[in-house]
Chain A
Amino acid sequence: MRTLRTPLSEDLVRSLRLGETVYLYGPVVTGRDEMHIRALKLSGEGSPVPSGIEGSVLYHCGPIMRQNGDGSWSVVAAGPTTSARMNKLEPEMIRRFRIRAIIGKGGMSKDVAEAMREVGCVYLAATGGAAVSLADGLGACKGAEWLDLGMPEAMWRFEADRLGPLIVAMDSEGGSLYERVAESLVRDRRGLPARPLSGRRGRPGR
């Protein structure tokens, strides 16, 4: 288990090993499909993009936020969304903005892995649905961009305070836990005895 302070340097990112558990402290931004599309469109036109994207830790997350009386925002729940939806947009995103780490669930494509290897970026798997714990870890909200995209799709800024556990699921050398699992996946084993499911009432978990 390692605790890391963001922004992450390329050297540090390249030292992370597949399967390692990490916790993050420091700036993290969120972004889903629409945030990717807008950031790439603006930068493609030569227009400025909001600060905090360049060299960032980018969390694939559409949080539930609550606006306080003074106009500031607090995070209520913030688990990862399915990263594969951003497969087409991510390689360019990583190359253009030198993204150092992506946090999400489910893993990403080979094209993304290739961009990660080139630039020095890792994929960190967050526990899907663990939204309350992860909201705790995101800490204080430091503002938002592009609220017109709606709450889930806007770009939110956070100052992470022990965000995790996050598993290094794709490293900066092209290694992927998802690929390892896929290679050893057993599709059709017959005749195994059912697992002994002891439970308090009957047999939970069938």
Chain B
Amino acid sequence: MKRLLEPTEDVVVNLLRLANTKLPADIGWALEAAAGWETGEIARTQLGAIMENVKKAEHLGIPMCQDTGIPVFYVRGRFDSSIASKIAEGVRKATASIPLRPNTVDPLTRENQGSNLGDGMPVIHYIPADVDYTEITVLPKGAGSENMTRLAMLNPADGVEGVRRFVIDSVLDAGGRPCPPSIVGVGIGGTSDRCVEMAKEALLAPLDSDNPDPVLAKMEEDLFSALNSSGLGPMGLGGSTTVLGVRIRKACCHTASLPVAVNIGCWATRRASARITSDGVEYSQGAVL
């Protein structure tokens, strides 16, 4: 879908609308595949309700989930410092026009300005790159799944087995709260802050793309089958579909550290990107950073 050049604010509104009303195709396919193998009656009811809901939301052009989340932005390529205020303005417009639920509050007074803006919001990550476009990606993150985020500074001696156990425990302890079947984002290594960032970035990799690192690809397969053998199931009500996918990113770390972070994405892991070039804007939902 290519459009003529639009003001960045409007691109952000379009992005938020696309992300909130249309589930990325790869997640839709994973849900269909799950409905194919799932045998439990309650689990099948849950998957059926999710898929029907996704269809209705897309058809009616309204958000698939009432928790339209906190929008997390990734800006990659060429940009200047004015982009932050343009994105903020887009969020304000989108909140009123789509509409999005006003979720953003002061952490202590809990005061809600009603616009999804406020100190430090929205969250924007900047990735400068020597290309001739600006790419804005949004990942609206609901609280049900975000609240299950975990970071562990493991002992290097805990090794791969320690990482594996931590991921399994984090997902199973979360139970039905992050609306499983979920997508599990894992960050391994880096510093504590980078590790948590990677876990969230991992959710931007489509489920049908291969992890370029064969070791991580194997870990993803292993965790996928271990988690789906757990019996937790859709909404934590039992079944063989606990996760739709596991995506891992890693970075090098201190020789005395082994950081691991888990960021769970619910079935409604929403994402959309816009690539802005000199002759137009192209929207897509197959984000990878």
A-side interface residues toward B, CB under 8 Å?
A: 19, 21, 61-64, 66, 76-79, 81-82, 84, 105-107, 125, 127-136, 150-152, 165, 167, 169, 177-178, 180-182, 184-190, 192-206
Contact = CB atoms under 8 A, between A and B. Distances in A.
Given A19-B42, A181-B233, A206-B207, A200 B66 contact: no
Interface residues of B, number: 70
Nearest to B183: A205
Contacts of B65: 77, 79, 129-131
B132 interface: no
Given A133-B49, A150-B112, A79 B102 contact: no
Interface string B148-176: 00000000000000000100110010011
Nearest to B226: A189
A169 to B, nearest CB: 6
Given A64-B100, A66-B99, A76-B99, A165 B45 contact: yes
Given A129-B50, A178-B175, A205 B165 contact: no
A199 B60 CA distance: 27
A77 B268 CA distance: 14
Given A107-B175, A107-B176, A192-B225, A129 B232 contact: no
A161 B191 CA distance: 51
Contacts of B284: none
B230 interface: yes
Given A165-B45, A199-B29, A204-B26, A133 B235 contact: no
Contacts of A136: 56
B33 A199 contact: yes
Interface string B48-75: 0110110011001011111110000000
Given A169-B237, A181-B237, A181-B238, A128 B144 contact: yes
A167 B233 CA distance: 14
Contact of A206 (B49, B144, B246): B246
Nearest to A202: B208
A204 B100 contact: no
Interface of B: 26, 29-30, 33-34, 36-37, 42, 45-46, 49-50, 52-53, 56-57, 60, 62-68, 99-103, 105, 112, 114, 142-144, 147, 165, 168-169, 172, 175-177, 179, 207-210, 220-221, 224-226, 228-238, 244-246, 266-268
A186 B238 contact: no
Nearest to B47: A127
Nearest to A127: B49
B64 A131 contact: yes
Contacts of A192: 225-226, 229
B241 to A, nearest CB: 9
B226 A79 contact: no
Contacts of B46: 127
A16 to B, nearest CB: 15
Given A133-B53, A150-B112, A205-B30, A187 B172 contact: yes
A144 to B, nearest CB: 15
Contact of A185 (B57, B231, B267): B231
A187 B268 contact: no
B150 to A, nearest CB: 16
Contacts of A194: 221, 224-225
A201 B168 CA distance: 27
B235 to A, nearest CB: 6
Contact of B64 (A63, A105, A132): A132
B33 A198 contact: yes
Contact of B144 (A82, A169, A187): A82
Nearest to A193: B225
A81 B147 CA distance: 12
A173 to B, nearest CB: 18
B208 A132 contact: no
A70 B14 CA distance: 28
Contacts of B147: 82
Given A64-B68, A152-B101, 8 more contacts: A62-B66, A125-B237, A129-B64, A132-B63, A150-B102, A181-B238, A189-B226, A204-B207
Contact of A199 (B45, B100, B208, B226): B208
A190 B65 CA distance: 35
Given A128-B179, A128-B235, A184-B231, A204 B221 contact: no
A64 B101 CA distance: 6
A70 to B, nearest CB: 18
Contacts of A63: 66
A125 B236 CA distance: 10
